[in-house]
Structure 1
């Protein structure tokens, strides 16, 4: 059976860095097990170009595809594009089976099957084992209701099977690196790069996070095996930079330390970038030299807010003093700190935006990334903002870089002005410019220059976009009116118990 995996083009400016793309890890993770099971698998990465949707459909036809599997890391923002692509695919190949997976379809499976007639099956939760079982069922004509972790139509109704069991052994299914030409992928200013996961999930309870519940529980790969794989990628394919897609790669000090030591022992000149929590940096202050020796060049830290009450309300489980200490520790070891800061958790006033700026100045991160609070229906945060007005109808722009929710008393243009002014003032500080020009570490200087160059391009793009094309609504519907009630009861997408311990239950119809 011929299977084509499709990474659809994304409209967000953050995914459109000129001449730089990262491989679609989720599709590669699904593709590897399918290849090993004997299926013929190909991948179309439509981010290159980006490819027009009509050209994607043409290529699928040429490959004589029986099943298309579509997924994207920008799940919700890519959804409108996926819907249109599915329409074109079915128009060209009416008998094609279309399978749709990712975070957004995992939680919105019923409305997708109800509203998108061209989508046949939805994979819910992590896809390696579920996709493999599903393809075997399709190839043999077996009853789909026996495959856990999917949703489909039965007698015209959208139904879901029980949640798939969480994959305990993350090394049980390999990444299908052969599906892509790694020489095409680069990041960080032209360095050959890939995306990997050391772990999945996060034990913390941040109410706004759309990923934590998708993975359900924190798990990690074998540290030594991952180090060997990264070394192989460097020696075999010339990979220079590793971008960790984890929510919390450092979740286990013991496992992370073992990984760092194993990678150091491989003696490969890799650069590592990723995200973690400030508390883990403070916890690991005595082994940060291992971070540096292994190649860690930057960690993103979620600062989120200057207000401890807001941090408590969104269940961040952090403190402002710990955040600042982590930034200083990273700097002392030659590791760049990027602070993300979220606008819109509350309906802030002008004074709040000024305090946010002063707060970031006090933290003194090397890089800063401002984001807008963006509510996902399956998160606890969504239920707390149901009565706020929605200013952006286009789901493609629910990408954390466009204002979605109103701030009572502060018009959207002034929120945008604060947002962009804080960005430019933070990145133009004399301290930042001095580090960018005179830091003793060449990799550090390169990273600072690259981020400044990309940030400048994005900054001007977003200003022009706001002025001339996508200005928010002045008065919009409430979030409840626009999107509907919360789906928080679906937050945990996977069954925590092992497959052998599960009892078969009946299909779940749409309520």
Structure 2
């Protein structure tokens, strides 16, 4: 079959401002197995430009595909764009079958198939094996009902879902289709040739707001040695300089992570690695942090989420403020940059909470911060807690963690955004932070901090302008449940669990 993969353009300001683009790992991960099965696969990455819908349709028409697959990493906020693309492609050639995958369609499959006739089939959960089976079934004319992990309309127009697929037990059994991209076009951190990769999938922790934990069903990891070997090959053959880990928590297993660090040191390639992890893992690994740096780790995003104990308890974050502070200190000691996430927009927050959070951030002394707004997803336990909160933003393109979407009891949107913007400036522009940007002893780290500061400044002004002139918050919006539907946390795990004896399933428990 001829198959076209489409990466829709993201509408977020943070995606539009930088000149750098990262490749769509999810689509490439599906493309590799499809190519190995003999299908003719091509990629339309509409982030470049970004492409208009007419340009996307034109690119698709050149390939004359039997099947189009649409997916995006920011699947909730990208859904309106994905739907518009699907409708335009279907209008141009009704014979093309359109498949839609990602976190959002995995859980909202009933609504998506009801509201958008352009989508023929939805993939629920991981896509590598499911797409292989689906493409084979479509090519041979077998019934769709034989493919686990999909949803579709039958001949009578009824919406059906097959049994969940089983989560992939051996992640190394499926390869990424790197040949679908030209590596020269993808970069990060100011022009460094870069890719997105995954060492592991899922997370063993129980944060109740996380929209990813249940999607991956269970934490698993790749072979540390094979993963390091793949990174080294990308450096030697494609000139890749930077690896952006898409893992929720790659360090969950100290044993597996240490094996990866040692394998990277053995490969001896000068790549830089950035990603996200938990503060308690950093503190746990205090004795091997020198290996982190030697293996190429240069920045960790640490999900601290909040500094208020009641809020941390509410979202079941785990960890402790003392651990957060110690993790940042340890990272700095080993010349690894720290980026602290800070989530606002909880219903009971007052100015006193914001002020206390600001002071706590200053005491943590991170190199960078990322302010986010609480954004509940229907399949998470936190959604049930927040189900009666009032929605003030009904444009789901804004449900990207960078826009306030829920009403607060004590703070107006104007007050909250003013607080966030002032705190961002105060934390990033304090003398201690500026001195690091100007005089950090590591030249590469100076470069990365300066790039992040330049991009952050541009995004900062655009976000203020958008808030003042392009946003209209509802005063009497629907409740969260009325807007999205009933809580779905009983269906949080999107796939059947793999066999427990497979490597990586029990090491983090």
Secondary structure (helix, strand or coil) at the match of 2:276 reads: strand
Match of 1:502 in 2: none
Contact 1:145 1:161 in 2 (8 A): yes
Secondary structure (helix, strand or coil) at the match of 1:286 reads: helix
CA distance in 1, matches of 2:489, 2:144: 26
Secondary structure (helix, strand or coil) at the match of 1:156 reads: coil
Please say which of residues 315-324 and 466-475 is displaced more in the overlay.
466-475
Match of 1:394 in 2: 395
Match of 1:79 in 2: 79
CA distance in 1, matches of 2:410, 2:219: 40
Match of 2:504 in 1: none
Match of 1:118 in 2: 118
Contact 1:347 1:406 in 2 (8 A): no
Please say which of residues 144-153 and 473-482 is displaced more in the overlay.
473-482
Match of 1:63 in 2: 63
Match of 1:503 in 2: none
Contact 1:186 1:193 in 2 (8 A): yes
Offset of residue 498 of structure 1: 4.8
Contact 2:347 2:409 in 1 (8 A): no
Contact 1:165 1:498 in 2 (8 A): no
CA distance in 1, matches of 2:493, 2:15: 27
Superposition pairs of residues 135-154 of structure 1, within 5 angstroms? 135-154=135-154
- Normalized against structure 2, the TM-score is what? 0.97
Match of 1:415 in 2: 416
Match of 1:28 in 2: 28
Secondary structure (helix, strand or coil) at the match of 1:151 reads: strand
CA distance in 2, matches of 1:392, 1:173: 39
Computed over aligned residues only, the root mean square deviation of the Cα atoms, in angstroms, reads 1.0
Deviations 1:201-224, CA, capped at 9 Å, x for gaps: 000011111001000000000000
Secondary structure (helix, strand or coil) at the match of 1:473 reads: coil
Contact 1:223 1:262 in 2 (8 A): yes
Offset of residue 248 of structure 1: 0.4
Match of 1:509 in 2: none
Indicate whether 1:480 and 2:493 are aligned. Answer: no
Indicate whether 1:133 and 2:133 are aligned. Answer: yes
Offset of residue 17 of structure 1: 3.7
Match of 1:226 in 2: 227
CA distance in 2, matches of 1:169, 1:427: 42
Offset of residue 285 of structure 1: 0.3
Match of 1:508 in 2: none
Match of 2:373 in 1: 372
Deviations 1:416-444, CA, capped at 9 Å, x for gaps: 11111111111011110011111111111
Deviations 1:66-105, CA, capped at 9 Å, x for gaps: 1000000010000000111111011100111000000000
Q: Which runs of 5+ in 1 are unaligned?
A: 500-511
CA distance in 1, matches of 2:76, 2:67: 22
Check 1:17–1:229 CA distance in 2 against 1; reply closer, same or farther (3 A cut). Answer: farther
Offset of residue 13 of structure 1: 1.3
Secondary structure (helix, strand or coil) at the match of 2:171 reads: coil
Superposition pairs of residues 186-225 of structure 1, within 5 angstroms? 186-225=187-226
CA distance in 2, matches of 1:486, 1:174: 35
Offset of residue 487 of structure 1: 1.1
Match of 1:2 in 2: 2
Contact 2:299 2:338 in 1 (8 A): yes
Offset of residue 484 of structure 1: 1.6
Deviations 1:301-321, CA, capped at 9 Å, x for gaps: 011111122212211111111
CA distance in 1, matches of 2:87, 2:78: 15
Contact 1:386 1:479 in 2 (8 A): yes
CA distance in 2, matches of 1:466, 1:144: 46
Match of 2:468 in 1: 467
Please say which of residues 22-31 and 445-454 is displaced more in the overlay.
445-454
Match of 1:184 in 2: 185
Contact 2:332 2:338 in 1 (8 A): yes
Indicate whether 1:263 and 2:267 are aligned. Answer: no
Offset of residue 409 of structure 1: 2.2
CA distance in 1, matches of 2:324, 2:2: 50
Offset of residue 347 of structure 1: 2.6
Offset of residue 473 of structure 1: 2.3
Please say which of residues 97-106 and 468-477 is displaced more in the overlay.
468-477
CA distance in 2, matches of 1:86, 1:226: 35
CA distance in 2, matches of 1:332, 1:471: 45
- Normalized against structure 1, the TM-score is what? 0.96
Superposition pairs of residues 266-305 of structure 1, within 5 angstroms? 266-305=267-306
Secondary structure (helix, strand or coil) at the match of 2:172 reads: coil
Superposition pairs of residues 448-467 of structure 1, within 5 angstroms? 448-467=449-468
Secondary structure (helix, strand or coil) at the match of 2:446 reads: helix
Contact 1:297 1:443 in 2 (8 A): no
